[in-house]
Structure 1
């Protein structure tokens, strides 16, 4: 028993255990009232709390059983540990299933929600034409346009909670990009991890190499032509402009 609990009375430890068990009972009562429209954040918060309680209840029972004043007259705490374990696994399975259901629902409606958000945004900025929502499937050529639009419409929204941003992010990803962040549950803390994962994968040397490759893929002039020369110049300037966004200024390139 840690020094901090060794000097705690047995009665205080038992009171602490009852308090933890009551918090667990609150989660169980929530499971009986989960409705169709329950938002994912309510489920996610209780799932995190359940994990915390699992550790604290077990620690509390151990502290009681190891206390100098405790006399093991029956199997009271052993039975409590077993009962709590069974209820914990049952509660966790229900919460995980509900979370999976809500995440699946968010994947199908996140784009619609994003459109609603953008619609409100355009109202805030006078009556501008509606912006077409963009999805991203891992195609490196589409990363910059997706990144800049997402940063503007979602990521930099200070009034939008991170957990909701994560809903929008998952809803507009497909294929390879979606697979990168799918293992992460939709929680406040995981949003930044998911975004950093995408930035590390696509806002990287891979994108720089792709733009340099594009320079070498610009078709050569088969004959003298003002139109073809203009097209070549525009293609070159487009790749240079993109590289300027990714690396240092052109006069200092090492690429």
Structure 2
């Protein structure tokens, strides 16, 4: 069942990489090992998420929908980085200013007023953005 599910999730090159393996428990482990050896490249994933954060446009509008869209995108990349063991505890000093640079100047000003001694606290920033979105909604 696991192997059938795995095969149903794969497309393109990844699917072709395990073609020919019959649906057995032993081949499931072989398929997983093969896919990991070919695609498990943590550093590339980290770089892709950081580049995505860097590439975000600075938000010019402060309406609720634009802020919510930005928040969703930020959360997606931060969660993905956390899954790759790049957490705010370790890297907040880099991630927090990167995210702040994407917020409108008025929001950054409010952040500056409320974040004394928490300038590198990524979770505090994400909570702050959430509160800003809720205020606008």
Is it true that 1:184 corresponds to 2:21 in the alignment?
yes
What are the Cα deviations for residues 80-100 of structure 1, in whole angstroms up to 9, with x where unaligned?
A: xxxxxxxxxxxxxxxxxxxxx
Is it true that 1:197 corresponds to 2:34 in the alignment?
yes
Corresponding pairs, count: 91
- TM-score, normalised via structure 1 length: 0.30
Change (3 A) 1:204 1:181: farther
Identify the residue that residue 51 of structure 2 maps to in structure 1: 213
Separation in structure 1 between the aligned mates of residue 85 and residue 6 of structure 2, nearest angstrom: 26
Is it true that 1:234 corresponds to 2:101 in the alignment?
no
Q: Alignment RMSD, CA only?
A: 2.9
Separation in structure 2 between the aligned mates of residue 188 and residue 239 of structure 1, nearest angstrom: 34
Change (3 A) 1:173 1:232: closer
Separation in structure 2 between the aligned mates of residue 224 and residue 170 of structure 1, nearest angstrom: 43
Greater RCO (Cα-Cα under 8 Å, separation 6 or more): 2
Is it true that 1:173 corresponds to 2:10 in the alignment?
yes
Structure 2 counterpart SS, 1:243? helix
Separation in structure 1 between the aligned mates of residue 6 and residue 54 of structure 2, nearest angstrom: 34
Change (3 A) 1:231 1:170: closer
Unmatched segments (≥5 aa) in structure 2: 96-137
Separation in structure 1 between the aligned mates of residue 86 and residue 55 of structure 2, nearest angstrom: 22
Separation in structure 2 between the aligned mates of residue 171 and residue 233 of structure 1, nearest angstrom: 32
Change (3 A) 1:238 1:169: closer
Structure 1 counterpart SS, 2:23? coil
Q: What's the offset of the Cα at 1:166?
A: 1.9
Q: What's the offset of the Cα at 1:240?
A: 0.8
Separation in structure 1 between the aligned mates of residue 8 and residue 69 of structure 2, nearest angstrom: 37
Separation in structure 2 between the aligned mates of residue 224 and residue 168 of structure 1, nearest angstrom: 43
Q: What's the offset of the Cα at 1:248?
A: 4.1
What are the Cα deviations for residues 86-137 of structure 1, in whole angstroms up to 9, with x where unaligned?
A: xxxxxxxxxxxxxxxxxxxxxxxxxxxxxxxxxxxxxxxxxxxxxxxxxxxx
What are the Cα deviations for residues 40-77 of structure 1, in whole angstroms up to 9, with x where unaligned?
A: xxxxxxxxxxxxxxxxxxxxxxxxxxxxxxxxxxxxxx
Bigger radius of gyration: 1
Identify the residue that residue 117 of structure 2 maps to in structure 1: none
